[in-house]
Structure 1
Amino acid sequence: MLLEQRFVPGLAIASYIVGDEQSGAAVVVDPTRDVDGYVDYAEHHGLHITHIVETHVHADFVCGSRELKARLNDKPTIHCSGYGGDDWTQPYADQHVKEGDSIELGDVRLGFLHTPGHTAEHIGVTLYDTSRSEDTPWVLFSGDFLFVGDVGRPDLLGEDAKKELAHQLYNSVFDRLGVLPDITEVFPAHGAGSLCGKAIGSRRSSTIGYERRYNSSLEEKPEDKWVAALLEGMPLSPPYFKRMKQVNRDGPAILGPELPGQKRFAAKQVNERLCGECLTIDVRPKEAFAAAHIPGSINIPLGQNLPTWAGWVLPYDRPKLIVLDDPSDMPQVVTHLVRVGFDDVEGYLEGGIGSWETAGFELGRLGASSVHDLHHELSSGAKRTVLDVRTDSEWDSGHIDGALHIHGGELQDRFSEVPRDKPVSVVCGSGYRASIASSFLKREGFEDVTNVIGGMSAWKAAELPTAKK
């Protein structure tokens, strides 16, 4: 038996391909939309993908089942949960599975376990190597039900549903999970960094026994107390999660083998708005953006966090034009964006920001300051708003006294809270999120905006005064 984990940093997605060497058949569990890796792995190992399994309707990325099936000439069978009812049954599935159903691949058998709580339809996938044991599952693909050191959050369907789902999750943890032995290995759909849990561990796999012993969410306590502890301190969820749920329930559009965004736009074309209502997304480093950028553009620097922050702050109803330094980075940028449902990437600025500069078009600039400069200004009584765009937990761990706290993902809905009559210094952990927030402030018409380089990491390293909750 072959088992390969494919991990996507940033979104912290883990998907799996399991192959039976005897029959040459393979199954993919929870694929992402960029499917080349699964196809290449199967070809390299002499496998043919015959089945695709979704553990649930995902909220944080666009599922790749339809894309993978289309890439393989519609040959694989898509298996989705049969517990979705009227609201969460995925119509594009070839088979809606329930407990008692199985998939046979030579010496490999997959079974299904209904594990509601993160979502009502959620299923776990048990993997048996029948050449070794017919009765003991070697692996549980736990989806977003059970993570390393955590369980899935039950609050993504809104206030009305979260308590019911939390109680369902309690039953899944202390009843449904009980049928599995300690030796069964756990391979979840996410690792550390995902917002689908509250405190997911950094390891990519575990065992049922280890989690029973050391996962605090598996410690038995009265149900009401367990639910209260689970829901306490749940991180803010991005608004794009709701959109992803609907897209993955109904079935995402099929992209095909060619990524969108291949068209090149000359600086003159961009200036004349030949891209129509395109929103300009500048993925260059924050320092380069600060030095010179197209006015009104949004800075989300290229890196593993690009798709998460694109989902947080970008609209889905406008096409996108990309500004970047190296055109060879464009496939990576587009892959990040289509993973979270931005299929409307029109193209990129040919020649980068240099072509815009040499064409003589207007340039925008963003201020930058060190933490020492900011501290000196504040100490001297200068009128300045310090805007902290970190999470609640980061804020509580220490912040600049007198700062205004607005989570970066909520800033677009809370511009009115930021004073317009004085300069604004934006701070985050290191400067990445502050650059995103600063670009939105500039676009909104705030004139004097400064990104505090190094953010609170630099502020604390410099041992400057810090206030706490």
Structure 2
Amino acid sequence: MYIEQLYTSCLSEAAYYIESEGEAAIIDPLRDIEDYIALARQRNAVIKYIFETHFHADFVSGHIDLSKATGAPVIYGPNTKTTLPVHIAKDGEKFVLGKISIEALHTPGHTLESTCYLLKDENHTDYAIFTGDTLFVGDVGRPDLAQKEENLTAEDLAGIMYNSLQQKIMPLADEVIIYPAHGAGSSCGKNLGPQTCSTIGHEKQNNYALQAGNREDFIKAVTEGLTAPPQYFPINAKINREGYESMDTVLEKALKPLSVTEVKSVTNNDDIILLDTRPAAQFTEGFVPGSVFIGLDGRFAEWAGSLLPFDKTLLLITEEGKEKESAVRLARVGFSRFAGYLRGGFETWKKAGEKIDMVINLEAGELAMDIPFDEKLVVIDVRRETEFADGHIKNAVNIPLGNLTDPASMADMEDDQNLYVHCTGGYRSVIAASLLKRQGIHNLYNVLGGWNAIRLEEKIKTEKETSILN
């Protein structure tokens, strides 16, 4: 028996390769399927099954393309509603893989079709359980993603999840390994731990959600403090349920090289969004006017899905050689409309003598000197509300990054104000600066190092929002 976790850090997503006697199964594959096929080929195995724990909301699964490439059936759990050609497993149904078996355990709660897969080893002993978004290390899946037609509240789903955990997972032996679909940083839970696997015994002792004494306490524990899910979650869930274009088709459009002249001709087209994926330090020094910055070196796909409209066409501006990576990572969260990419990147644009824009950076120390003397100075803190509450510059305005695509978020700002934008370390603030500039707001500065640098400046007055923290 062989198990390999294939972890994608920028999405905090774990897919799994399981193999016995030359037969393999893939659990929760990403949209780009080459790694799974290559691993099976490398190990002289044949992919026999593709298991899906639920309709994922945070990424587009590779189930359709992988099934077409291998002939392996796609397996979902009970209550699955889709027109795609899938096998809907019965609760308790077993699938033989070489000398081992995988049993479907229906565990609704995160979604109604959520299903865990219990692996039994060569001796028919429970060995590991692949829990999807039902049970994480230190957390459980968020229960607020019900589809409108399901007419269920977060409390309803949390109660269903409590029953699933108590009846299907908690009775398992303490030594059974837990392999979840996500790790820390994922928006599919609220308190995921840093490890990407655990055991039943460890979670019984350490997972806050499993400490609840009864159903009511559990519901309260898992529903309190939930932030709104990213806006692209229902879009991705719909794509996974209904189908999508192949990755090859998407890449064919995305990897079309465009000249400076061709890019220039569409810069005023409202249907086109110029997306610059270079590092933040390069972007602030110069970029094509109107570009949105989301750098590959951060939580790129997640922020793209949260901030960019899916009904617009993306034109990529990347570091040379990063075109395909940019397109693949965007496709993972459901983007499929592409015009191509700027051949030669921003340097080609600059060498052609075209107009450029830039973001002015300044150190936290400079901000400290400006605060007492600039009456028009406004600090825009684009961190989440909880981050802001835990400590912020006195009189700063909190506009979380996800809200900046709504022009109303800046409705109270005056044209003559000087905006000093910051986040925690600098990634989100550059995204924010690009969005503000795209809205025509140019009197702004990006504070280098963000809150990490600001809190070290003794001359900058800070405070906390204790009412929120409590």
CA distance in 1, matches of 2:177, 2:143: 23
Which residue pairs with 1:79 in the alignment? 75
Do the aligned partners of residues 417 and 311 (structure 1) sit closer, same or farther apart at CA in structure 2, a change above 3 Å counting? farther
Confirm whether residue 148 of structure 1 aligns to residue 137 of structure 2. yes
* Equivalent position to 1:310, from 304, 310, 329: 304
Which amino acid counterpart does residue 428 of structure 2 have in structure 1?
Answer: R
Query: By how many angstroms is 1:155 displaced?
Result: 1.2
Which residue pairs with 1:388 in the alignment? 381
8 Å contact kept, 1:79–1:93: no
* Equivalent position to 1:449, from 441, 444, 448: 444
Which amino acid counterpart does residue 430 of structure 1 have in structure 2?
Answer: G
Query: By how many angstroms is 1:152 displaced?
Result: 0.6
Confirm whether residue 280 of structure 1 aligns to residue 274 of structure 2. yes
8 Å contact kept, 2:376–2:416: no
**Corresponding pairs, count:** 457
Which residue pairs with 2:416 in the alignment? 421
Give SS of 1:354's match: helix
Q: Equivalent pairs: percent with the same residue?
A: 34
Confirm whether residue 101 of structure 1 aligns to residue 63 of structure 2. no
8 Å contact kept, 1:52–1:78: yes
Which residue pairs with 1:434 in the alignment? 429
**Which stretches in structure 2 are left out of the alignment for 5+ residues?**
466-470
* Equivalent position to 1:364, from 348, 351, 357: 357
Confirm whether residue 270 of structure 1 aligns to residue 266 of structure 2. no
TM-score by length of 2: 0.94
Confirm whether residue 341 of structure 1 aligns to residue 334 of structure 2. yes
User: Aligned ranges for residues 52-451 of structure 1 at < 5 Å?
Assistant: 52-72=50-70, 75-84=71-80, 89-129=81-121, 131-132=122-123, 134=124, 136-157=125-146, 160-256=152-248, 259-260=251-252, 261-273=254-266, 277-326=271-320, 328-413=321-406, 414-451=409-446
In the TM superposition, structure 1's runs of 4+ consecutive aligned residues that sit over 6 Å from their partners are: none
Confirm whether residue 46 of structure 1 aligns to residue 52 of structure 2. no
Query: By how many angstroms is 1:31 displaced?
Result: 0.5
Give SS of 2:248's match: coil
Which amino acid counterpart does residue 109 of structure 1 have in structure 2?
Answer: S
Give SS of 1:57's match: coil
Give SS of 1:16's match: strand
Query: By how many angstroms is 1:274 displaced?
Result: 8.8
Do the aligned partners of residues 419 and 155 (structure 1) sit closer, same or farther apart at CA in structure 2, a change above 3 Å counting? farther
Do the aligned partners of residues 433 and 180 (structure 1) sit closer, same or farther apart at CA in structure 2, a change above 3 Å counting? same
Which amino acid counterpart does residue 181 of structure 1 have in structure 2?
Answer: A
CA distance in 2, matches of 1:412, 1:274: 19
Q: Which moved more, 1:458-467 or 1:296-305?
A: 458-467
Do the aligned partners of residues 257 and 349 (structure 1) sit closer, same or farther apart at CA in structure 2, a change above 3 Å counting? closer
Give SS of 1:235's match: coil
Query: By how many angstroms is 1:160 displaced?
Result: 4.8
Aligned-pair Cα RMSD in Å = 1.7
**Which stretches in structure 1 are left out of the alignment for 5+ residues?**
none
Query: By how many angstroms is 1:5 displaced?
Result: 0.5
Query: By how many angstroms is 1:322 displaced?
Result: 1.1
Query: By how many angstroms is 1:381 displaced?
Result: 4.2
Give SS of 2:196's match: coil
CA distance in 2, matches of 1:11, 1:18: 21
Which residue pairs with 2:468 in the alignment? none
Query: By how many angstroms is 1:425 displaced?
Result: 1.1
TM-score by length of 1: 0.94
Give SS of 1:379's match: coil
Q: Which moved more, 1:151-160 or 1:63-72?
A: 151-160
Which residue pairs with 1:466 in the alignment? 462
Give SS of 2:11's match: coil
Query: By how many angstroms is 1:275 displaced?
Result: 10
Which amino acid counterpart does residue 11 of structure 2 have in structure 1?
Answer: L
Query: By how many angstroms is 1:436 displaced?
Result: 0.6
